[in-house]
Each structure stands twice: as C-alpha cells, then as structure tokens.
Structure 1
Amino acid sequence: MTRFWVGGYGDDMQGDAEGIGFLSVDEGRGASTLTYRGVAAPVASPSWLAQHPSLDVVYAALEGAGEVQAFARSGESSLHPLGPALAAGDSVCHLAVSPVGRMLIASCYGDGRVVRYGIADDGRLVPAAPDKAAALRAALFGEEASENETDAAAASDPYPTPAGDEPRDSHAHSAVFLPGGRIATTDLGFDLVRIWRASGTGLTIDHEVVLPRGTGPRHMVMHPSGHLHVVTEYSCEVFTLASARDGSWSLASATTASPIAQVGVDFPAELALSRDGQTLYTALRGSNTVSALRVRGSGETVEPLALADSGVDWPRHHLVHEGVLLVAGQRSGTVAAIDLDERTGAPREVRHTASAPTPTAILPAR
C-alpha cells in the first residue's frame, strides 16, 4: 500500500482539516484507488509538509499560528510531535530541508521573513540560538534585540513605488537548496529570487535576481542540469535561471505557463518535475487546469506541451508519483490522480478522486 501525508487548512484558516491527514493508494481488481484514512497528527493548519532526507520525520508549517513543528512516525498511519512548535513568522507557508538533514528554512508569506533552524541528530528542530553580538549591543546600547536572530535580512523592493500607489509588501514563499550549499528563496511581493549563504546560525545574502515587476515568483524546482525553474503566481510564467562560473545566477529564459492562462484570473501554484527531468507540471488555480511543459536543450528553455483538467477546484499543490500526478484541490476538498502519458509525459484523464479535508500539500510517506 502506497501512503501519503496530507497537509491542510483548519478552523484558524477557514478550512475543515483537523491536522496532518493520511492518504493511501490501494491496489485491487486491476485498479488503484485513493482513500483518505483520517488524521495522523492533530494540529492546527499544517499547510505545508517537508520530509527529513534520512529519518522518518515530517516537518509542518502551521500557517495560522506562524509556527513550525517536527513530527516522528509512531505507527503506520500516525505521527507524534517531536518537540514543541517553534515560532517562525506571519503565515509561514513553505519549508525546505537541506540534503543532509541539518537545516530547515521556513518562508513566511505574511511578513516576508526567511528563518533558518538547525536539525538535531534525531530530527527535532533546534530552537534559534541568540546572536551573541546582537545581545551584547542590546545590553550596552539599549538596542532592541531580534526575537529570532537566525532571521535572514529583510528584502527591499527593487522597484520604485509609482506616484499615488501604496508601497508593496514582502512575501517570502519558498526555498530551494542549490548545488554547492547555497539557498534560493522567492519573494512573491518584491519579484525577487534571493540567493543566500549559510553563515553562523543565520543566512547571509549573496545576491538577488530581479524578475520583471508584478510577476510574483512563487515556487521553484531544481533541474538535474543545474538550472532553476521558477513559476510566477501573478504573470502565469515559468522563468529559468542559470548560474555562471562565478556562482552568480541570472535569467536564462521565460515562457507562459499555459497557452490559455489569463493574468488576474489564473494563479499558478506548485511546480513539479518528472522523474526523467524532461517535463515540468504547474497547476492554474482559476481555470483549474494542469499544464505540462517540455524542458528543452540542456535545461535552459521550457515550452508548453499539453493541458488537462486538474479534476479539482483550486489546485494548490501537486506531485509526480510513479507515473501519476496527484493534485490537491483546496476548495473542492479532494485529491485527484491524473494518469501521465508514459512516452510524452503529458497529463491524460483523471483516474480517481478522493475526498480530503481542505488539502493544501501532499507528501509521500516513508
């Protein structure tokens, strides 16, 4: 039996999820069916889930509470808290775990904060260690000490505010660990992809890639070629970034996420990559479609390939698993399984749909 953990919105985020859910794919009579099995860990609005690379530990972004928490497997379909929830920031919406499992990066949509946590040997999150220099300055000169000294530097809007307009707000939305140990984060509000270096207990900005104003970079995926693909929520595009020999990143190409996408009506959410690296998948909330894009050349260009019905309302998250695309429909309260063409990777018909309370993230269970 194939199993998945399911994140969702609860009462504090106008949803009906009661915690981290448990979803199974059961084989029978030549066909597979999705089944929601119930709550694996009662917790408020675990809207994003991330897996430790080697331990049976799951990390949840508790978006409404602005906290992050670790959970360890305690049975086939249950998880228990591994330490207390730790403060993150307003509307923490995404978590990324380092490849070696020693660091977790939390991105906070509400206040734009990017927060780094350590991970202990057993997988539990290590509380933020105070910056001794900052504490000394606070004691000697009366400066206000930061609540969390592992916070990364706040972003600044690279574009001037037009006359008569209100200043824009920073909205950190995702993080990806890059080859060589650096970290990329998106700022949806300021149209930035920010490149960081881990230093001491925090993060130090290395440089930033500025995307066109109003594009809204949301989620990213690292291609095996070394290119970084970024989907934009506001402009319905996929940007591809490339790194130079000096380690700097820059824009390589851009394409529309879907030939039918309507800016202001459609809002791309997740970006997922096929196992062979030849196809990208994004889902458009609004038209409720799934768009497949072909990766060309050595990964530096992308072009639309095919379009299909997502089978859900408001497809917030999706992933590729064994030739099937699983799509979480936030507003329909369902998870759909879409068959993928074995030769082209194009999405085909919806194989099955299962009910799930306000699903926002799907994570394969070990």
Structure 2
Amino acid sequence: MRFLVGGYTTDMDGTADGIGLLTAGDADSTSAGVLSWRGTLASAPSPSWVAKHPTLDVVYATLEGAGAVQAFREQGPDQWVALGQPTPVGAAPCHILAGRERLFVTCWGDGQVVQVELDADGGIRGSATADAASDPYAGYDQEPRVSHAHQSIVVAPGVVATTDMGFDLVRFWRTGSRAPRLMQEVTLPRGSGPRHGILHPSGHLYIVAELSCELFVLAPDEAGMWHVVGGTPLGAGTLDGDTAAELAPSPDATLLYAGVRGSNTIAVMRVAGDGEAVSPLALVEAGVDWPRHHLVVGDGVLVAGQRSNDVVVLAVDARGIPGRVATRTEVPSPTCLLRLP
C-alpha cells in the first residue's frame, strides 16, 4: 500500500521537506509487512493536510504556514509536480475537503471557511470566503475568543458541516453556488473545541472535541435540522492537558478510534443502538509522541507521531483493539496520512 504524508517544514518548526511517500505492508495487511519511508515526492512549505481529487490524479495540500493551498499532479511513478501557483485562502489552513468541482478549506488561524473552485483538469481557478462565525458565548466573560475553523465533512448531498474549535460550533452549509450558504449552527459546550468528525453509515455525525476530550453525536430531525443526541468522554485514562486529534472508524463502523495527544494514546469507543449511543471501550498506547493523525487500514492502525518523527502500525486484535507496535519507520514531522488507490 502507498500513502502520501503531509508534514511540517522549517517554517512550522518541522523537519519535513514537503509531501512524502510511505509504503506499508501488502495488498491485504498493514501490520504484517514492512513500513518504509520513500522520501519526498514534492517540495512544499508545511503541507500539513493532503487530500486527493475523487477522480483525477491530483492532490491538494494546505500550506499551513504560508496561508495557501496548492495543487499537485502525478507525473510518473512516485513523482508529483505543482499544478499552478499556491492560492491564498486564510491564516493557517489545516484541512481540505476535495470534491469533483470544488474544495472546502478550513483555516485554524482566523476561522475562515473558503470554497475553492476547480477547473476540468483539477487546477484551482478561484475562491470565495463564507460568512464569518460569531461567538455564541460572547459576553460570557471579558476575554474575547478567536474563531478556529478546523475541518469540513460532507453530511448530505450538497451539504457540508464545518467545525470551529474557537467558538465551539458545528456549522452546516449549502454548497453549489459561488460561496457556501449557511444553513444552521449547532453550539457545543463552551471550551469543548470541536476538531474533527466523521459521518457514520447510520447518518449520525460524530465530532471529537480537542480541548475537552469528548465525543459528541449529532443527528438530523425530520425537518433536516441537526441536534446533539448523545456523547461520551473519550476515556477515564485521559489526562489534564490532553488534546484530542483525529477520529476514524473501524472497517465495519462498530468502533471509533480517537487520537489523544499528551498522554499519547488511542481511545477506542463502541457504537451501539442505531448509532446514537457511544461508549468508551479501551484506551491504549499510541506508540508515538503526539499522535497527530491516524488511519485504520486492514488489520492495523497507522499512527503519525508529529513530535517523535515516525509512523507506526498498531496491530489490531479480534475485538478491534490496537495493541503492540507491529512496525515503525522514521518520518519527518508527519501531520497527515493519505492512502493512495
């Protein structure tokens, strides 16, 4: 299997040189084969998130320190070249949702949500910034807060949800026009810091909160309005000062895996009922320092250790719980893993 690796370069105090290539295991197993770092495929300043176009051999990277996004096209075996120039979007862009005709880019630094239009070849041809968020807790105290948009998730045809860590919001947008149109906002508890999420096959939206280390469950009512319908702490073993990172499902969607930085663990949660009930199952060692991102692939969990400069594969047992480190390789400041077809 091949994986593109996003990372931090010197402008973000990292050691990467751009987008890299990682190979792991074989066609059926990530934990039974060799994990190997193949080096840098495309030089770029801090490509912290990498997303692939659904049909074209084009990927997009957030150049987090530069406040821009950049397209790259595959040009031969293990070689990617820039497609056009970097496009400014906002301060510290940290996530891209890639569609056939447009990208959704979320900016941690200033909270901007930017819709980027694509041409037929996957190149970037224009952008429009969505309406800024307002703090639902404004006036709670005298210290103003800053919007920090973090991720975009498709939740229905033509509808995208975005998380805002700074304002504790999940915002829902209608897409298709030149700029996204705000449909609804769901407010989470103050200081929870919603970061990343996934849409479950049941139709529930799971959101992991970075600052409070909780998992929230959202669902739409018959009118299509979203509400919080459940939630749980990630586990009794999380520590003060821990921050949650990525959220990923098991292949059968019965389990959820959340990375926890600080204690450097992976929280495993069970999904029950019709998807509205979640409960902690286990809290295991991540095997790295600062588990920034992880993927569940085959019989293993790949974990990117941003501060330990490595990627590991954790073998998963019959219950779906990660255990020992099956294989490890040095990777410079990894922040994102993207499996290639």
Secondary structure at 1:53 match in 2: coil
Partner of 1:11: 10
| Residue type of the alignment partner of 1:319 | L
Listed one character per residue, the Cα deviations across residues 121-140 of structure 1 (whole Å, up to 9, x for unaligned) are: 22112222xxxxxxxxxxxx
Q: What are the residue-to-residue correspondences of 1:189-208 with 2, within 5 Å? A: 189-208=166-185
Higher mean displacement: 194-203 or 3-12: 194-203
The whole-number CA distance in structure 1 between the counterparts of 2:136 and 2:118 is 33
Partner of 1:50: 51
Secondary structure at 1:202 match in 2: coil
| Residue type of the alignment partner of 1:303 | S
2:213 to 201, 220, 236: 236
Tell me if structure 2 keeps the 8 A contact 1:39–1:78: no
Partner of 1:134: none
Partner of 2:186: 209
Offset, 1:60: 0.4
Partner of 1:298: 274
The whole-number CA distance in structure 1 between the counterparts of 2:204 and 2:15 is 38
Partner of 1:109: 108
Partner of 2:158: 181
Secondary structure at 1:287 match in 2: coil
Offset, 1:75: 2.3
1:363 aligns with 2:338: yes
The whole-number CA distance in structure 1 between the counterparts of 2:251 and 2:40 is 29
Offset, 1:199: 4.9
1:345 aligns with 2:320: yes
| Residue type of the alignment partner of 1:161 | G
Q: Cα RMSD between the aligned structures?
A: 1.4
Q: What are the residue-to-residue correspondences of 1:257-268 with 2, within 5 Å? A: 257-263=234-240, 265-268=241-244
Listed one character per residue, the Cα deviations across residues 203-249 of structure 1 (whole Å, up to 9, x for unaligned) are: 11101000011100000111011100000011000000001121110
Listed one character per residue, the Cα deviations across residues 256-315 of structure 1 (whole Å, up to 9, x for unaligned) are: 11221124x210000001121111100110000011111111111111112211110000
1:153 aligns with 2:154: no
The whole-number CA distance in structure 2 between the counterparts of 1:199 and 1:43 is 30
Offset, 1:337: 0.3
| Residue type of the alignment partner of 2:337 | I
Partner of 2:81: 80
Report the TM-score, using the length of structure 1 for normalisation.
0.90
The whole-number CA distance in structure 2 between the counterparts of 1:308 and 1:76 is 37
The whole-number CA distance in structure 1 between the counterparts of 2:306 and 2:32 is 25
Offset, 1:166: 1.6
| Number of residue pairs aligned between Structure 1 and Structure 2 | 338
Partner of 2:229: 252
Higher mean displacement: 344-353 or 310-319: 344-353
The whole-number CA distance in structure 1 between the counterparts of 2:139 and 2:322 is 41
Offset, 1:72: 1.1
Q: What are the residue-to-residue correspondences of 1:56-95 with 2, within 5 Å? A: 56-95=57-96
Partner of 1:147: none
| Residue type of the alignment partner of 2:109 | G
Tell me if structure 2 keeps the 8 A contact 1:307–1:347: no
The whole-number CA distance in structure 2 between the counterparts of 1:253 and 1:31 is 37
Listed one character per residue, the Cα deviations across residues 99-151 of structure 1 (whole Å, up to 9, x for unaligned) are: xx1121000000000000112222112222xxxxxxxxxxxxxxxxxxxxx11
Listed one character per residue, the Cα deviations across residues 142-191 of structure 1 (whole Å, up to 9, x for unaligned) are: xxxxxxxx11000000013344x320000000000111321100000000
Partner of 2:195: 218
Secondary structure at 2:33 match in 1: strand
Partner of 1:131: none
* Structure 2 unpaired stretches of 5+: none
The whole-number CA distance in structure 2 between the counterparts of 1:112 and 1:273 is 27
Rg (Cα) greater in structure: 1
| Residue type of the alignment partner of 2:324 | E
Tell me if structure 2 keeps the 8 A contact 1:119–1:126: yes
The whole-number CA distance in structure 1 between the counterparts of 2:139 and 2:213 is 23
Tell me if structure 2 keeps the 8 A contact 1:207–1:248: yes
The whole-number CA distance in structure 1 between the counterparts of 2:23 and 2:72 is 19
Tell me if structure 2 keeps the 8 A contact 1:236–1:256: yes
Secondary structure at 2:11 match in 1: helix
Tell me if structure 1 keeps the 8 A contact 2:301–2:315: yes
Tell me if structure 2 keeps the 8 A contact 1:69–1:81: yes
